[in-house]
Amino acid sequence: MSRRKSGGGYGGQAGSGARKHSGRGTGAGAAAKTREDAPFQKNEEVTVDIIGLTHDGEGVGRANGFTLFIQGALPGEQVRAKVMKVKKQYGYARLEERLIESKDRIAPPCDIFDKCGGCQLQHFDYSAQLEWKRQHVIDSLTRIGKLRVAGEAGANGEEAGGIVVHSTVGMEDPWRYRNKAQVPVGASGGAGGELIAGFYARGSHRIIDMDDCLIQHDRNDEVVRAVKTIGRELGISSYDEESGKGLLRHVMARTGFVTGEIMVVLVTNGRKLPQADEWIARIREALPGVKSIVQNVNMKDTNAVFGDETRVLWGSEVIYDELDGIRFAISARSFYQVNPVQTVELYRKTVEYAGLTGVESVIDAYCGIGTISLFLARQAGRVYGVEIVPEAIEDAKSNAELNGIANATFEAGPAEIVIPRWREEGVIADVIVVDPPRKGCDPALLDTILKMKPERVVYVSCNPSTLARDLRLLEDGGYRTMEVTPVDMFPWTVHVECCSLLVRKDN
């Protein structure tokens, strides 16, 4: 996914004539406003009470009844902030000083946390993050989906007996959990400078050079450091977005947590790789665990990381890893969850919600390379997986064969087209599992689910907002949402994954 891009960046430099103003007073802002509908003017200093966090991790503050979003502020804090932008109903401000500090504030262990956009919550105690993520899910369900949540008051103030939202499933050790690093490459000081690689600064395309990332597996950091060092010594140029010139665009590293196998992917702005033999020899020398060195060619003016052409420079086309005893072959462009520890937790919950006894027929929409499908197949009668990406379906078939799983069938195509055809061919689904991208389910797929009327629907989501929207549609179509379990797939970031169980109301 990239699920790691953070929003909420804000710009602007403080003016020298900033006025101080307490947002806790009454009426003081009215005289200072430059717009009829805003109580503050740009560069004004205000005292703000922080009452929450946005889905991007910005502090939500109230001053004089006006909402201000403040990067770096935490709930329960009172801060002095400088107003940077004012709109009709809200504004953005820059944190200047913490007057009252949250009990949940901690010192970020990463040296570049305040610059890098990879993490948003390293200043927030981990247990408090888990509570906030659960509340974020509840807020989405109630506000966007207009759904009742157990323990939440209804519209008339009565207690709802609705959806059970469980505590967020966290990690015992929430560090070094990512099995994939995918970082842009640039040059220090602009084109022609020393090769650098790291995540983008918040809200920008400015690369923050990084040698050590605390949420990456150590071996991924080793790959990025090695490629930078070798590239510098071989005089390799970095891609420049402005001019479209330069060679190396991205470095991707994959590490098998169980197998220890490493894949290195060089994304280049051109097919020719200068000194390719030297590149390969130096990478193999620096990284003894490397099993695959791959080049991907992307010559388009695009923010997409990968181009259409991929070729193996050395070693295998895939590396292998395992999830809960199931072995997977992973190619350069395979979608494979980046946190294997939490993926097992999420998929076990998916199987639990599916309620399988060994005879059920299950459809896995958005099946990817078959990860959820193969978990389900161990306890189902038959599993049908569908995915729009043909290469992913080929991987899914290979992974089923790799594990000796014969009760899983995979087909490429849009789920909203393939599944109705399966229905016409006599496939009856007892359970349908969906794991869509951040935009949620295609409306045609939701309509197909309602027509097929499975006993259960298990909805795996990486976006609480679109989850809430789709649950509302399924509820209106005859289903009841029973439980939602948030799973912290991305500690120290604002992202949260959910697994939800729906059953037919007439069942």
Cross-strand pairs, 362: 383, 431
| Greatest extent of the chain over all pairs of C-alpha atoms, in Å | 74
DSSP state of 105: B
Sequence-ordered list of residues with C-beta below 8 angstroms from that of 259, at least 6 positions apart, any chain? 319, 320, 321, 322
Nearest to 93 by CA among 119, 67, 116: 67
Cross-strand pairs, 253: 181, 264
Sequence-ordered list of residues with C-beta below 8 angstroms from that of 365, at least 6 positions apart, any chain? 386, 415, 419, 432, 433, 434, 435, 436, 441, 445
88 exposed, middle or buried (CB, 10 Å; 0-12, 13-18, 19+)? Answer: exposed
Q: Residue 404 corresponds to which amino acid?
A: G
Q: How far apart are CA 101 and CA 150, in angstroms?
A: 32
Reduce the DSSP state of residue 364 to 3 states and report it: strand
| C-alpha to C-alpha distances, 485 to 165, 350, 383, nearest whole angstrom | 6, 10, 23
| C-alpha to C-alpha distances, 86 to 30, 46, 67, nearest whole angstrom | 14, 13, 10
User: Among 367, 462, 498, 499, which one carries the catalytic annotation?
Assistant: 462
Sequence-ordered list of residues with C-beta below 8 angstroms from that of 226, at least 6 positions apart, any chain? 282, 283, 286, 287
Q: Are strands 290-297 and 497-504 parallel, antiparallel or unpaired?
A: unpaired
Sequence-ordered list of residues with C-beta below 8 angstroms from that of 79, at least 6 positions apart, any chain? 47, 48, 50, 59, 61, 70, 73, 95, 96, 97, 98, 99
Tokens representing residue 360 in the block: 């059920």
Nearest to 405 by CA among 387, 423, 385: 385
462 is catalytic: yes
Cross-strand pairs, 327: 322
Active site residues: 462
